[in-house]
């Protein structure tokens, strides 16, 4: 029983429970402006762009990248379909109308959707654009220059992993639009592009100008439209005067040479920096008459050597073998040391400049372009959502687009869609035991680690559990035997003395404290 319990505990710790997740298409509930799960299997409500990009070669100017509605390549949730970007090195553009325009008023904007880079991502984006409501908006002509209100989503090229949040702010003075970019997230985004799992991207923009970017319902970036966008929403109240010029006599030197300083009389500018060491002694055995290098005695002039063309032939130089056992050869020279009297060229010391005026800056003047927008949340309304992408990778999977102004409604949609995918992917992952066996196949040395960390403790637990009970039983039996022996001796003693045999129970004898030096005795 002891062995079975111990083994059972170990097996349970290494085995993952498996369950089956059944797909059910999410149904939009509550206030929403757009909901798309693609489970109808068609693109009936979407418009493919037939436009061309300006300022681009005709060969690649067309938006002819292919889209499809299908399940993921390695789907863990049969029946779940999504929008898939199928072509690589192509321009793609597709868009759809909202149920009604989104107006930025007193409620937040929440947009969320799912992305899975099924085959990885080399260079390309998976961001969405919320297309501004304009009289001339034509989804059939959707291009990169089509006005948008917000651009949001993942983008990657090389080792640059981005999560965009860009919105176009309207200058209240000029009416012109300028892109404002959110600060770069501090979180490491690499995993979301490389693990080939489905991730949920969410943008929340609140009427108080705060914003949050979430991945898998975890905040990875947050801030305020007034303080965390580049360039800032509001220009400075003052600017440097472009017509201001630095005066010719403006002195920016904080230090100058002391004009009253003079060179000391004992200053020798001609003293060398290094001098021969007068204390040095030539080593014993130095061969003054032997050159350090000699002509190679084994060298032979090449047969094709032409002295008229190549000059007089000379054997190559080789180290003199006579110098190998000597401390040195040739004329001995004293080594040089730093000259203690060397001072170099004299220069006057530096002192504070009494005429120092600081670094010159142009004077400030009121900024003629200044304005103050304290409510940048009130962006341009939008009435369509679109994907306008170029990618060097194919099979990018999009699913469960949702736009609302209610956080609870968005969370419910996320749990019904992305939540199911997450559960299905988790159920399909191998258990701990399978992962350990797979790892050991690639790295056999892991078996030693498994034995030390799993098998050895298991054996020790079995030994401890199973031997402890036997030891206790043995001790109890031994004590019981001693009591029976003492009782039997007492009865015999009563019979021998002629006394009357009575029922007797041995009483514990008072224990006497042993003193140091007392010999051990048997009671």
Provide the residue-wise pLDDT of the chain in tens; the chain has 523 residues. Answer: 333 333 333 334 444 445 567 888 899 989 999 999 999 999 999 999 999 888 777 777 889 899 999 999 988 888 899 999 999 888 999 999 999 999 999 999 999 999 999 988 888 899 999 999 999 999 999 999 999 999 999 998 888 899 999 999 999 999 999 999 999 888 889 999 888 999 999 999 999 999 999 999 999 999 999 999 999 999 999 999 999 999 999 999 999 999 999 999 989 988 999 999 999 999 999 999 999 999 999 999 999 998 888 899 999 999 999 999 999 999 999 999 999 989 899 999 999 999 999 999 999 999 999 999 999 999 999 999 999 998 888 999 999 999 999 999 999 999 999 998 888 887 766 655 656 676 666 667 667 777 777 777 777 787 777 665 444 444 444 445 445 544 454 444 444 344 444 444 445 555 554 454 444 444 4
pTM, two decimal places: 0.66
pLDDT of residue 62: 87
Architecture of domain 22-233+376-428 in this structure: Sandwich (2.60)
By the 8 A CB rule, do 143 and 93 touch?
A: yes
For residue 420, give Cα distances in angstroms to 85, 107, 203, 215: 22, 28, 21, 16
pLDDT of residue 256: 96
Q: Please give the Cα distance from 112 to 411 (Å, whole number).
A: 10
pLDDT of residue 60: 77
User: Which residues are paired to 181 by β-bridges?
Assistant: 166, 230
> Residue ranges of the domains in the chain?
22-233+376-428
Q: Which of 43, 60, 54, 61 lies closest to 146, judged by CA?
A: 54
Q: Which of 59, 62, 82, 60 lies closest to 70, judged by CA?
A: 82
By the 8 A CB rule, do 84 and 391 touch?
A: no
pLDDT of residue 467: 65
Coil, strand or helix: which one is 479?
helix
Among the residues of 158-300, which ranges form H helices? 190-194
By the 8 A CB rule, do 118 and 85 touch?
A: no
By the 8 A CB rule, do 394 and 120 touch?
A: no
By the 8 A CB rule, do 492 and 486 touch?
A: no
Phi, psi of 246 (to 5 degrees): -70, 130
Among the residues of 15-141, which ranges form H helices? 58-61
| Complete DSSP assignment for 90-107 | EEEEEEEEEEEEE--SSS
């Amino acid at each position: 029983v002891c062995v079975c319990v111990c083994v059972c505990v170990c097996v349970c710790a290494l085995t993952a429970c498996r369950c089956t997740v059944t797909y059910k298409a999410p149904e939009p509930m509550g206030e929403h402006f757009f909901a798309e799960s693609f489970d109808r299997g068609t693109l009936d409500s979407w418009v493919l762009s037939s436009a061309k990009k300006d300022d681009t070669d005709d060969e690649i100017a067309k938006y002819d990248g292919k889209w499809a509605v299908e399940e993921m390549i390695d789907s863990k949730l049969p029946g779940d379909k999504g929008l898939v970007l199928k072509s690589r090195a192509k321009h793609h553009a597709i868009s759809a109308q909202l149920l009604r325009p989104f107006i930025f008023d007193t409620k937040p904007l929440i947009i969320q959707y799912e992305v899975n880079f099924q085959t990885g991502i080399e260079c390309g984006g998976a961001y969405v654009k919320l297309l501004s409501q304009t009289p001339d908006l034509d989804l059939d002509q959707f291009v990169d220059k089509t006005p948008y209100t917000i651009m949001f989503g993942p983008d990657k090229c090389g080792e640059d992993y981005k999560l965009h949040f860009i919105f176009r702010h309207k200058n209240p003075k000029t009416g012109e639009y300028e892109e404002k970019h959110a600060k770069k997230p501090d979180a490491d985004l690499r995993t979301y592009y490389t693990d080939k799992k489905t991730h949920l991207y969410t943008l929340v923009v609140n009427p108080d100008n705060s914003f949050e970017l979430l991945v898998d319902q975890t905040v990875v970036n947050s801030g305020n439209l007034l303080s965390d966008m580049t360039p800032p929403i509001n220009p400075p109240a003052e600017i440097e005067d472009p017509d201001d010029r630095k005066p010719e006599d403006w002195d920016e030197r904080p230090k100058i040479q002391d004009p009253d300083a003079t060179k000391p009389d004992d200053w020798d500018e001609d003293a060398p920096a290094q001098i021969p060491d007068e204390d040095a002694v030539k080593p014993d055995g130095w061969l003054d008459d032997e050159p350090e290098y000699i002509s190679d005695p084994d060298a032979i002039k090449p047969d094709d050597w032409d002295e008229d063309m190549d000059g007089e032939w000379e054997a190559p130089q080789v180290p003199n073998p006579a110098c190998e056992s000597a401390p040195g050869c040739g004329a001995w020279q004293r080594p040089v040391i730093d000259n203690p009297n060397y001072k170099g060229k004299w220069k006057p010391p530096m002192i504070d400049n009494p005429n120092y005026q600081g670094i010159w800056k142009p004077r400030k003047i009121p900024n003629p372009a200044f304005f103050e927008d304290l409510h940048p949340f009130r962006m341009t309304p939008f009435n369509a959502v679109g994907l306008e992408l170029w990618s060097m990778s194919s099979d990018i999977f999009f699913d469960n687009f949702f736009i609302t102004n209610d956080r609870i409604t968005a969370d419910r949609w996320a749990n019904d869609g992305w939540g199911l995918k997450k559960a299905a992917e988790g159920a399909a992952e191998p258990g701990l035991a399978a992962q350990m066996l797979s790892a050991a196949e690639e790295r056999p040395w892991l078996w030693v680690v498994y034995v030390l960390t799993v098998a050895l403790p298991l054996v020790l637990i079995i030994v401890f559990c199973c031997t402890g009970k036997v030891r206790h039983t043995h001790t109890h039996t031994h004590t019981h035997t001693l009591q029976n022996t003492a009782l039997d001796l007492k009865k015999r003693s009563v019979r021998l003395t002629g006394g009357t045999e009575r029922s007797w129970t041995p009483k514990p004898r008072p224990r006497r404290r042993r003193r140091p030096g007392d010999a051990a005795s048997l009671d």
